[in-house]
Every structure is written in C-alpha cells, then in structure tokens.
Chains A and B, each alone.
Chain A
Amino acid sequence: MTANKTIITDFLVDQMQMPVDIAFWVEIVVVAAVYLGVFALLGLFLVWMERRAAAFFQQRLGPNRRGPAGLFQTIADALKLVSKEITGTEKRDKFLYTIAPYFVIVTALMALAVLPFSQELQAFDINLGVFFITSVSSVAVIGIFLAGWASNNKFSLLGGMRSGIQMISYELSIGMVIVAMTVLTGTLQLSEIISFQQEHGWSIWSGHIPAIIGFMIFMIAGTAESNRTPFDLVEAESELGSGYHSEYSGMNFAYYFLAEFVNMFIISAMVVILFFGGWLSPFGITDGIPYVGVFWFVFKTLGVVMLMMWFRWTFPRFRIDQLLTLEWKYLIPISMVNIVFMALVVWLGLTF
C-alpha cells in the first residue's frame, strides 16, 4: 500500500513525524469518522427539512419549537429513539434481524464516499464511480429482504418482497439512464464526468433532448428507488402497515429511516453530477476559487431533494400493479430507446 499525497497525509508525515504507512491508515480512519459524523447530521437535517417543507406544502407550520426554526427537533427524536427498548418478535432469526439494518445504512454511507463535493474534496475518486454507486446502493435490497425474512412475520415478509420487487425493477431504468449519460460523457469516473461538463456545458444542456428525457426518467426511477411517495409501497403507513420494518423499534428502526434520507441525498447528488454539472458554478462565476464547489454541489443537491419532496407531497400513492406497469411498460422501453437516441446524437455530433 502506498499513500497518495493528500493534505492529511502530508500533515501527518511532515508535522507529526509519522511513518507513511501508519499515516495512510490514520487518514482513512479520520476521513471515515468525518464522513460518518457529517452524514449522520445530514440525515437528521434532511428529516427536519422534509418535515418543514411538508408542512408548508400542506399549509402547516411544522416543527418550530426546538431550537431555531425547529432545527433540533430531529436531534431530540433521534435521542428518543436511542433511548428506546429494542424489541422484536419471539421467533425472529436474531442474527439476521440484528444485521439487516446495517446492510441498509452501511451501503448508503459507502456510496457517499465517491461523491465529488468539489474539485479538491473527494474521498475516493475511483474510475468506476457511477458504477460503484449503483452497485453498492443495490446491496441495500438485501438488507430489506433480510429484515422482512428475519422478522418472522408474514406481513413483514410480504412487505420485504414488495419493496424488493420495486427496488430491483427501478434499478434497471436508473442503469439505462446512466448508460445513456455515459455515452455522452465517455467516462464513468465522477471527476471526469464533471470536467467534461466544464468543457461542454452541463449535460442537460449539451445532451439536450435525450438528456432531458433521461433526467425525467432518472427522477421518477430515483424517487422509486429511494422508496418515497408516490412509490412508498414499502412502508405505506396508512394502508399496508409499514412493510418490512414493522417489527423494528428504537435505533434499528431509525437506521432504516436515516438510510432512506441519505439515499435520497445520494440520488439527488447523482442527478446533479450526471445532469447539472456537479460542483460547477452556473456560467463559471466562481471558477478557480477553491472549495466554493462544495456550496454549489450542496445547493444543487438540496434543490433536487426539494423537487423530490415536492413530488412526495403532491402525488397520490401508486397501486403495486400501476407501479410495475409504469416501470416495465413505460420507463424501460423509453430509456432503451433513449440510449439509442443519445448514441445517434453523439455519433452525428449534434451535442453542444
């Protein structure tokens, strides 16, 4: 293992007189701890944002008591969940029941590692970045299946199967859209996708019609993938009785809840990277200033998150047959045609 030259390793080796190999591992631990902390807080912030936005969509006020504008409300909720007893059914499979939430939350946090927050700030610039995100986040389905199975409750099992069907189906059209965008950018590496957009303009502009079709499919499939309304048949509190996590309580339940919101952030970040130029500023107004990209990246991502919240509080929930009809009869054929269309556009040089 050889250490890359980074700020943290430089600091550890030069200032702290640490051997290079140890500095490498210390850096990994530090970065992991920082990411974990930041995204635990991000999940809480997104829950707060969801509740406030939902309230405004429904002409309510939402949480506004704990802290400024109710910001500490979700921290209080998390503390309550930590202090709750972890219960479960009598004949559950204890091992699988315990590890199932970690499949979901760990995969959600792993996908965050490759996100480019700015030119300088990216933990892990793998050359298969987009592929890494899709493959890692599809492991979360296993956590959901396991939760349904290990609860030893027939309704949990049905809920797990239902959400498995949904997540596996919609991953297909997400993958197709990613293929189409890869045809345009010519790379899977996230930093290179963004540098392509720096040269040619944001993908939604340079890829015009097929990119806009791809964006719409990605938003629909991404909403379904992160199990949000109108595709939240996974939990559907009022109709289906919470599905796979109906037997979970306390922090185990909170992991699923947080993972849903972190997944929403990842999907939005993917939209921003693939279509809206990642950390690039509009018209290059802040180009060359280091770390300002973080602001633009988070700003754009929260904008897309806002769009998903807008969907959630506007549209009614699908039936399971409507959900599968939408995916298999509409999204997949359209996204397949879209790949060919995008290839033609790139081949004929019709991009900007």
Chain B
Amino acid sequence: MPEPIVEAVDVAKVYQLGKTQVHALRHVDLVVERGEFLSIAGPSGSGKTTLLNLIGGVDVPSSGTVRVDGEDTSKLTERALTRLRLDHIGFIFQTFNLVAVLTVFQNVEFPLLLQGRMSSDDRRRRVNALLEAVGLADHARHRPSELSGGQRQRVAVARALVANPPLVLADEPTANLDSVTGGHIIDLMREMNRRDGTTFIFSTHDPKVMSHASAIVRLEDGRVVGRETAQGAEAR
C-alpha cells in the first residue's frame, strides 16, 4: 500500500498574541491518500488556513508531526523545507499572489527556473502546455493586472502544477471569484486531479465548492470534527 501523501499526527499550533495564547489547532490527526481531492471545510477562524500552512511547510507545528511525501517537516532545515515546497507542493492562494511585474508566461515558468533542471525549450513546452490546459494560451504575454480574477486564478493553478508536484494546496481558491468563475476553477482543478493523479487539498466554506470534493474534513475551533465523503455531505 502506498504511503499517504500527507500524514498529520496530534498536531497543535499555538500563536502568542501579546500575553494571550491562541490555540489555532488542537490534536489534529489527518491522513490524505495520494490522488485525493480533499476539501477542508469550516467556518472562519476554524483553523483551515493554519492547517494548510503546516501541510505546505510554510509554518511548523507547535507540537505533533506533519509528514509530506514521507518527510517530517519539523525535522527539515529551512533550506530543505523550501526545497520540499518547490519540488513536492504547489500553492494556490485566495488572492492569487502572482508576481505583478512578470507576464503570465513568466509567472508560470518561475518554479521551473527555481528548480533549474529544465532546458529553456523544455520549459517553454511545459508552460505552453499548461497555459493551453487552463485556457490562457492567448494571454501568455499579458501581465496579471490585465487579467480578470478568474483568469488570474487560472494562472495560479498553472503555476502550482507546472513543476508537476504530487500535492497542490489551495487556500479558499474561489473566495474572491463569482460563483460561476469559482465553479470553473474547481472544475479545472478536478480535471487536473483526474488527469494527472495530483492530490489536491483545498479549504472552503462554500457548500457548492465542497460538493466537488472526493472527501471533506470538517474543522471547528481548531479540531477535526468529522471526515466524510462528498456524497455523505450532499446527503446531509
């Protein structure tokens, strides 16, 4: 049986705000199998973003362990953790977070440049193929400011997938989009999940978005309060 892509064991995250301790996550256990299209659901402040940050290695847990693709993130050096993010994880942000001064092509190409493994021709082919897949082949020379919100998020999806990571994390990827555009983005992610077997974990509190997930993990006050299949959620 293949190793899970994500395994969180008794994870807690505590933030110190002045003299107050904020328990963002408490005793979280989570296993995500490869190829899942998992939604993390819960109200604002439930700990969705914190959990994604810990899985993505942009933050480390206060206690417990998070293993991503077999690597315990809390035991990695800063350099190795950055390399893990580059090679194993793609990120899609709520506010797109594209580099304003780069074109669409350059934004998507950026992770490949950081990796430094592909030739210029191979990079061009890979980026063009992804832009074709997300429907932005004609916008390669545009800057983010020249695109609509939906188009920007498509660029973000292409950037997250360009290095062919086994895991993509999306923090409320549709929150800044209208429902139709948001639906298209989720469809696009789902298509990539089915086509390439890439694992997607995305946070949302929108039931329509959750309905696309193969499984839903529910968070409340920093605790996992349930895990169900999408069909189960719909039935409820």
A and B from one assembly? no
